[in-house]
């Protein structure tokens, strides 16, 4: 396989972007990434998106966006893996360039959720779960995660408030990220007193959705040597994906992310690294319970001990395994199909040393993990800096 690099990044702020259409926010991120890479032409576009068909009554996103950004006729498709759609698009962009079929590809994640032409967002998000066996029972996505969190708390004897550090860290880190949806510091008392949504998940356990788009450009290193950038070379050292059962009740163990375990192990193997080598980790903190489960499945904590890393301060930007360094899903926001690419943009910022006040010191190796469904599709990427 050709060695690959990420040579450009772009993003829009996450929020309620009422004055911009789906194609406009997509275009804003793509053009920012092309400008960042210094490219006027790219060979292909792979778009991570979950809900455009239901909420915007718009499929065919490939042709929609290529024309809008001045890449008419270029190969382009939409890729869907629920909230893991963003990283799925990057995974396919990597395959496209690694195969030699394309010499450069944009992986775009885009979601427009505030304004809908097709029904409510909670019902739309439930399409990530098993429609016949979970959706048909009226299980919303937050309810599914609440069941998982309750089981975890009972099994490992935690208090609900032991999860507070995940949310506090995310909110703190978002304060200086201009693209984040929430710029609001929270403390332990805010967390403990937050309004309950689906017990034990309260408002500060859950990430806000939103509109947003993020894009990265993938190119092979051999081509890249001719492009002087004056920046460190950011290589894709690992890229792997795995699935689990779609319905949570079908799993042998409902509080273990088997697909996170498998995809992270494969990515570590490809990159020739271990969890000890990861300097920064953008994980999929759609709900605080998912932070604990990801940290465990990826080898940063023993089973049942994920919350301990938060309580001990190890997840802070200067801790052993910094997470949500630009706000995470919890505070940067979770425009679902775009999230996986926001994570990659943020890891690139860390590896370039462009992460401002939440810069992780000497970050050389970063990992991003994006989850579709309640652990059903999990994609892990490891990036490394040449510095």
Q: How many CB atoms lie within 10 A of CB 193?
A: 10
Examine the residue annotation and report whether 298 is marked as an active-site residue of this protein: no
377 sits near its own copies (criterion: CB under 8 A) = yes
Q: Which window, 112-120, 179-187, 297-305, 347-355, contacts its own copies (CB under 8 A)? A: 112-120
Q: How many CB atoms lie within 10 A of CB 320?
A: 15
* Beta carbons of 76 and 92 less than 8 angstroms apart: no
Q: Which window, 99-107, 172-180, 205-213, 324-332, contacts its own copies (CB under 8 A)? A: 99-107
Which residue from 291, 341, 353, 344 is spatially nearest to 321, judged by alpha carbons?
A: 291
Residue with Cβ nearer its own copies (121 or 305): 121
Catalytic residue among 160, 171, 334, 381: 334
Strands 105-111 and 280-282: unpaired
Query: 97 by DSSP, 3-state: which?
Result: helix
The neighbouring-strand residues paired with 226 are none
Sole binder of its own copies in the list 28, 205, 211, 244 (CB under 8 A): 244
| Close Cβ partners of 32 (under 8 Å, ≥ 6 residues apart) | 9, 10, 11, 215
- List the interface residues with its own copies, window 20-59 (CB under 8 A): 21, 23, 50-51, 53-54, 56-59
Catalytic residue among 83, 94, 298, 381: 83
- List the interface residues with its own copies, window 56-85 (CB under 8 A): 56-64, 66-67, 72-82
What are the φ and ψ backbone dihedral angles of 187, each rounded to 5 degrees? -125, 180
Sole binder of its own copies in the list 7, 33, 96, 316 (CB under 8 A): 96
User: Total number of residues binding its own copies (CB under 8 A)?
Assistant: 69
- E strand or H helix at 192: helix 188-193
CB-neighbour burial class of residue 73 (10 A; exposed 0-12, middle 13-18, buried 19+): exposed
Binding residues for its own copies (CB under 8 A): 1-2, 21, 23, 50-51, 53-54, 56-64, 66-67, 72-82, 88, 91-92, 94-96, 98-101, 117-119, 123-124, 126-132, 135, 239-246, 250, 258-259, 262, 372-373, 376-377
Residues annotated as catalytic are 83, 334
């Amino acid at each position: 396989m050709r060695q690959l690099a990420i040579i450009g990044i772009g993003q829009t702020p996450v929020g309620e972007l009422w004055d911009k259409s789906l194609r406009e926010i997509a275009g804003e991120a793509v053009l920012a990434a092309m400008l960042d890479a210094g490219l006027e032409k790219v060979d292909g576009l792979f778009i991570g998106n979950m809900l455009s068909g239901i909420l915007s009554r718009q499929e065919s996103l490939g042709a929609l966006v290529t024309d809008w950004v001045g890449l008419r006729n270029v190969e382009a498709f939409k890729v869907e893996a629920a909230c893991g759609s963003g990283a799925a698009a990057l995974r396919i962009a990597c395959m496209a360039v690694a195969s030699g079929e394309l010499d450069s590809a944009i992986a775009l994640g885009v979601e427009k959720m505030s304004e809908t032409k097709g029904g409510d967002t909670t019902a739309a998000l439930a399409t990530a779960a098993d429609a016949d066996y979970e959706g048909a029972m009226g299980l919303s996505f937050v309810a599914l995660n609440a069941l998982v969190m309750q089981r975890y708390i009972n099994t490992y004897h935690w208090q609900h408030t032991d999860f507070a550090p995940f949310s506090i860290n995310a909110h703190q880190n978002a304060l200086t990220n201009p693209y984040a949806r929430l710029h609001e510091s929270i403390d332990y008392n805010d967390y403990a007193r937050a309004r309950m949504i689906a017990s034990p998940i309260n408002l500060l356990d859950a990430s806000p959705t939103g509109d947003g788009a993020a894009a990265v450009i993938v190119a092979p290193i051999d081509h890249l040597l001719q492009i002087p950038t004056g920046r460190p070379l950011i290589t894709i050292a690992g890229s792997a994906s795995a699935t689990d059962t779609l319905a949570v009740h079908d799993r042998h163990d409902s509080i273990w992310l088997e697909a996170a375990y498998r995809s992270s192990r494969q990515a570590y193997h490809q990159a020739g690294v271990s969890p000890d080598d990861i300097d920064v980790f953008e994980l999929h903190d759609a709900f605080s319970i998912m932070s604990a489960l990801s940290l465990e499945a990826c080898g940063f904590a023993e089973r049942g001990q994920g919350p301990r890393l938060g309580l001990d301060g190890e997840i802070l930007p200067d801790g052993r395994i910094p997470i949500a360094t630009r706000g995470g899903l919890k505070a940067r926001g979770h425009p679902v199909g775009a999230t996986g690419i926001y994570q990659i943009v943020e890891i690139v910022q860390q590896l370039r040393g462009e992460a401002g006040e939440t810069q992780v010191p000497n970050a050389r190796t970063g990992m991003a993990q994006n989850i579709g469904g309640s652990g059903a599709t999990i994609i892990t990427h490891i990036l490394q800096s040449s510095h």
